[in-house]
C-alpha cells in the first residue's frame, strides 16, 4: 500500500471514530439511566413546578410577612433548581411532565380556599411536609440511582431544600403553631391545621374548594406553560 493510501485510510478511520463517539454519546447517556433516575427527575420537576406556584400563592394570599418572604424565596430557589433538573433530564434523554401532579394540584386547591391565619398555618404545614418528602426522594436517588448526573442533581439540591425546611420550621411559632413537627408528621400537622380551619362549616369549605380548584386551574396553568 502506498503512503498516500495509508494516509487516506488513517484519516478515514479517524473520522469514523469521531463520528461514532459523537453519535454514541447520547445513547451512552440514555443507557446509564435507570427507572429510579427517571422517576427522580420527573418528580423533582413536578415538585419544583408546584413549589413555584405555591410560592406565588403565598405572596398573594399570605397574611404574615414571614409567609410572603418564604414564598418569594421558594420561587427564586426552585426556579434555579428546576433549570438544573431540566438540563440534566435533557442530557439524559428523560422526558418531563408539563404540569405538577394531581396531588400537588389538590393541595394547591385546598390552600387557595383558605385565607388569613388559616391559610398561613396550612401553607407552612403543607410546605414542611413537601420539603421533607423532597429530601427523602433525594436520599433515595443517592442510594439507588445509577446516573451520575441525576445523583449530582439530588446531592446539590439537598442543602437548598434543607434550608427551606429550616425556615419553615422557624416560622411555626410566629404563626402560633408548634415549634417543631417531628419528622414524618407533616401530614398530621396538615390535618390538625385543616381541622382548625373548618369553623365556618363543611358546606362552605366544600363549595370553596370547588370554586378554588376551577379558579386555580385557570390562574396556574398559563404560568406553568410559559416556563
What does the pLDDT look like over 31-79, one tens digit per residue?
Answer: 589 999 999 999 999 999 999 999 999 999 999 999 999 999 999 999 9
- For residue 159, the model assigns a pLDDT of 97
Q: Looking at residues 176-181, what average pLDDT do you find?
A: 73
Share of the chain above pLDDT 90, in %: 57
- For residue 202, the model assigns a pLDDT of 35
Which one-letter DSSP state was computed for residue 174?
A: G
- For residue 20, the model assigns a pLDDT of 39
* Model pTM score: 0.68
List, in sequence order, the alpha helices (H) in 113-178: 116-144, 148-171
Average pLDDT taken over every residue of the chain: 77
**Residues 223, 219: Cα–Cα separation, whole Å:** 7
What are residue 114's phi and psi, to 5 degrees?
A: -100, 170
- Tracing cell 433548581 back to the chain, one arrives at 81
Handedness of CA 79, 109, 187, 191 (dihedral sign): positive
Share of the chain above pLDDT 70, in %: 65
**Residues 197, 189: Cα–Cα separation, whole Å:** 12
Q: Looking at residues 105-129, what average pLDDT do you find?
A: 91
Indicate whether 170 pLDDT > 60. Answer: yes
| Structural domains of the chain, ranges and CATH numbers in brackets | 34-225 (1.20.1260.10)
Amino acid at each position: 500500500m502506498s503512503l498516500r493510501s495509508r494516509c487516506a485510510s488513517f484519516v478515514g478511520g479517524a473520522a469514523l471514530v469521531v463520528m461514532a463517539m459523537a453519535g454514541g454519546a447520547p445513547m451512552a447517556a440514555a443507557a446509564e439511566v435507570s427507572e429510579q433516575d427517571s422517576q427522580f427527575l420527573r418528580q423533582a420537576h413536578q415538585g419544583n413546578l408546584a413549589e413555584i406556584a405555591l410560592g406565588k400563592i403565598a405572596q398573594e394570599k399570605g397574611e404574615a410577612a414571614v409567609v410572603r418572604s418564604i414564598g418569594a424565596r421558594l420561587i427564586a430557589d426552585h426556579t434555579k433548581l428546576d433549570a438544573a433538573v431540566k438540563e440534566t433530564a435533557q442530557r439524559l434523554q428523560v422526558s418531563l411532565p408539563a404540569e405538577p401532579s394531581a396531588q400537588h394540584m389538590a393541595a394547591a386547591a385546598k390552600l387557595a380556599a383558605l385565607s388569613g391565619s388559616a391559610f398561613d398555618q396550612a401553607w407552612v404545614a403543607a410546605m414542611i411536609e413537601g420539603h421533607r418528602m423532597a429530601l427523602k426522594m433525594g436520599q433515595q436517588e443517592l442510594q439507588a440511582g445509577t446516573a451520575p448526573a441525576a445523583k449530582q442533581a439530588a446531592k446539590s439540591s439537598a442543602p437548598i431544600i434543607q434550608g427551606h425546611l429550616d425556615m419553615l420550621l422557624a416560622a411555626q411559632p410566629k404563626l402560633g403553631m408548634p415549634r417543631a413537627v417531628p419528622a414524618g408528621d407533616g401530614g398530621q400537622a396538615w390535618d390538625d391545621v385543616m381541622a382548625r380551619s373548618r369553623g365556618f362549616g363543611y358546606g362552605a369549605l366544600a363549595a370553596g374548594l370547588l370554586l378554588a380548584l376551577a379558579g386555580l386551574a385557570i390562574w396556574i396553568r398559563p404560568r406553568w406553560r410559559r416556563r
